[in-house]
Structure 1
Amino acid sequence: MAPNIATWRKASYSSGNGGNCVELARLGNTIAIRDSKNPDGPKLVLTPRALHDLTRVLKNS
């Protein structure tokens, strides 16, 4: 069985402020989120619906 290798991409809502970037990767039916400055650090894994809800909350805060 091949390892689950994530292909990370910069989120379209990431800031252009000197590397303050959020990266996303699709992992099957979920989406992983990480800080681009700490790629080996913790990741947040959400369903697409939960990511949608999170971005809506952040936009309104």
Structure 2
Amino acid sequence: MTTIGPWRKSSRSQGSGANCVELRLFGDQVQLRDSKLGTGSPTLTVSAAEFSSLKNLIQAP
């Protein structure tokens, strides 16, 4: 059975909530989607290692 977590977005996103990428845990993977589209948004599913690499790349100075 795959454990699916709730959708989360950055605490740094603006109050309107319409300008952020959301993510959730999907078993041993991470799913990403566009918050503007909500449940109708296509999702990108990556491994935890791929997500970690992406996060490190985005946060690099």
Would the TM-score normalized by the shorter structure come out above 0.5? yes
Is 1:15 aligned to residue 13 of structure 2? yes
Q: CA RMSD in A?
A: 2.6
**In 2, distance between residues paired with 1:33 and 1:20?**
13
Q: Which has the higher helix share?
A: 2
Q: Residues 60, 5 of structure 1: CA spacing in aligned structure 2 closer, same or farther, 3 A cutoff?
A: closer
Mind listing any 5+ residue stretches in structure 2 that lack a counterpart? none
Equivalent pairs counted in the alignment come to 58
**So what's the TM-score if we normalise by structure 1?**
0.69
**% of aligned pairs identical?**
34
TM-score where L is the length of structure 2: 0.69
Per-residue CA deviations over 1:1-47 (Å, capped at 9, x if unaligned) read: 9xx765211135x5327421111111111010011001212111111
Q: Residues of 2 paired with 1:15 and 1:58: CA distance?
A: 15
